Amino acid sequence: MQKFKGLYIGIVAILVAGVLLAVLLMRHNPILISATQLQNMLETALPEVATIKGEYLYFTLNHQEYKIAKSGVDLRELGQKIPLEIEVEMNLWQNLTEIVIILAVVFIVLLFFTAFKQTQAQRTQPTKSQNRTQDSYINTAKSLANDTFALHHIQPIASNVTFADVAGINEAKSELEEIIDYLKSPKKYQDFGVKLPKGVLLVGVPGVGKTLIAKALAGEAQVPFFYQSGASFVQIYVGMGAKKVHDLFTKAKLNAPSIIFIDEIDAVGKARGGMRNDEREATLNQLLTEMDGFEDSSGVIVIGATNNMESLDEALLRSGRFDRRIFVELPNLQERVKILKVHTRDKQCDFDFEEIAKLCVGFSGAALAVLINEAALCAIKRNAKAITKEDILGVRDKVMLGVRKKLSFSDTEKEILAYYQAAKAFSAYTLEVAFEKITLMSDGLKYADKEFLSKNTMESQIKIHLSGIAALELLYQERYSHAKEDLNAAKAIARKMVESYGMGEYLLGREEDVLKILEDCKNDRFAFFKNYRGILEKIKEALLVDEKLEYQAVGAMIHDAL
């Protein structure tokens, strides 16, 4: 009898576990539906009553019980159609009951295997394969317990940030206004047959306010906001990242209209291939599938943020996914003034905002926020009642430590930069290469996509990239290190002309052909600026004052001088 004691305990444990599982499965378990599904169901039939319990609205239709997230329903409008009842329920107690039942099942399963193991030990020594099988069963039971509550850990954030709290994003704001209107009044667009972009990609250097823009979008639209970082999807075990993506999108659909914001999306959305990573590829594939699987009227907008769009997988950027891209640039002079005013609203200040903004060329919005905070700390240390210009100057270098050489410039450096960018704008306009605007920090050039490119067109592109180098050689008889990116771009175009398109001196090009194209283009620009030095000077002065020039403004200055 003692010999089979462990076996009897195991049989009893299995019976108890079966009863507990039956109780759990027979529990009240309505079907989850989205706001869109509810709207479609109510067009055909109306339930007699709907009950509000905690975060969900419950109703019975055609002998089947359903539930929907309360935040995804206009209760006032629904109450005009269906009587609503409010029932106080102990959600915490029910969740605890479910947890106790599941843990009891896991415990009983473990008890069974322990008893079974003891019985087997009395007969013979277990093999390694048997041990592995038992461990597998135990891990499966634990995984089931974790999966049951996965959705409960994903909760939306109620954003109280609006565009009034975010300065210097006028261009991004105009791009997002129609999305805000769609989230507020989706039926207006659905009735008109309009489909909004499923994904919006915010591209910009760190600190320009991509996350803040997403929060402001959610705050303006007053919808649930689900935040995740790209790195949070990267898991050790294959399939876990994909499951997390699925859970996130499921929760967002249940709370539609809503916003999913994935920060640093390049962590999970890098181009496939190269060094294989099955887990990352599975996660990316799940993300692609979820974005394609949206209902047209689901009301879920996905916003991604990255500072490295070139590394993203092409499938993620194709039409129907992240098909709207908003480039968030470093703030110009007037935008920096507005940002400084936002961050000093609750502080006493005694300085000229425009003067300080001119001293902070290249500062991002985040850097300006830190600058004001550090200056306030400096004012406190010297027992002052207001932040002064001296406080700003005292901490400016400290804030930009490690980045100053790249982003914060002296007057001489700003003049060199202004000449450099003015030369590129001058060349682009005269060579009929369109651009939106030019700033001290970037040229804003975007070449039109063409199936066929002529030799003359490609040479014009090279001339633009070498314009800054030629202008500085003319004015300063010197070359500078910041021309690295333009020089590399010019070399890439010249090499493609020679090696891929046979546009060199010989059909099968040589390295000498690449050098000849580059030298000819640079000499052409050198001679050009020598003849029109006055116009170049005029564009440079305007750029130093405003730090940004539109295409039309550059054209007007050129035509006035000719």
Using one digit for the tens of pLDDT, what is the confidence trace for 444-459? 666 655 557 888 999 9
Confidence of residue 460 (pLDDT cuts 50, 70, 90): very high
| Mean pLDDT on 380-404 | 78
* Distance between CA atoms of residues 47 and 221, nearest Å: 30
Q: Mapping DSSP to helix (H, G, I), strand (E, B) and coil, where does residue 162 land?
A: coil
Q: What is the mean pLDDT of the chain?
A: 78
169 and 291 assigned to the same domain:
yes
* Distance between CA atoms of residues 327 and 209, nearest Å: 11
* Distance between CA atoms of residues 29 and 32, nearest Å: 9
Taking the CA atoms of residue 375, residue 377, residue 383 and residue 389 in that order, the dihedral angle to the nearest 10 degrees is: 0
Question: Is the per-residue pLDDT at 145 higher than 50?
Answer: no
What was the pLDDT predicted at 440?
81
Question: Is the per-residue pLDDT at 537 higher than 90?
Answer: yes
- Structural domain including 390 reads 333-407
* Distance between CA atoms of residues 194 and 182, nearest Å: 10
452 and 470 assigned to the same domain:
yes
| Mean pLDDT on 262-276 | 76
Here the CATH number for the domain that contains residue 432 is: 1.20.58.760
Number of compact structural domains in the chain: 4
185 and 280 assigned to the same domain:
yes
367 and 322 assigned to the same domain:
no
100-109 pLDDT per residue, tens: 666 666 666 6
Question: Is the per-residue pLDDT at 91 higher than 90?
Answer: no
19-30 pLDDT per residue, tens: 666 655 555 578
306-323 pLDDT per residue, tens: 888 888 888 888 877 887
pTM for the whole structure: 0.54
55 and 132 assigned to the same domain:
yes
Among 125, 149, 173, give the residue marking a domain's end.
Answer: 149
Question: Is the per-residue pLDDT at 59 higher than 80?
Answer: yes
103 and 235 assigned to the same domain:
no
Asked if the structure places residue 30 within a domain, the reply is: yes
Nearest partner of 406 among 169, 198, 205, 256, judged by Cα: 205
User: CA–CA distance from 205 to each of 189, 249, 401, 499 (Å)?
Assistant: 33, 27, 17, 34
Residue with tokens 């159609």, as numbered in its chain: 81
Confidence of residue 115 (pLDDT cuts 50, 70, 90): low
Asked whether 490 and 518 are in contact (CB, 8 A), the reply is yes
What was the pLDDT predicted at 67?
85
18 and 99 assigned to the same domain:
yes
Taking the CA atoms of residue 491, residue 497, residue 498 and residue 502 in that order, the dihedral angle to the nearest 10 degrees is: 180
What was the pLDDT predicted at 448?
54
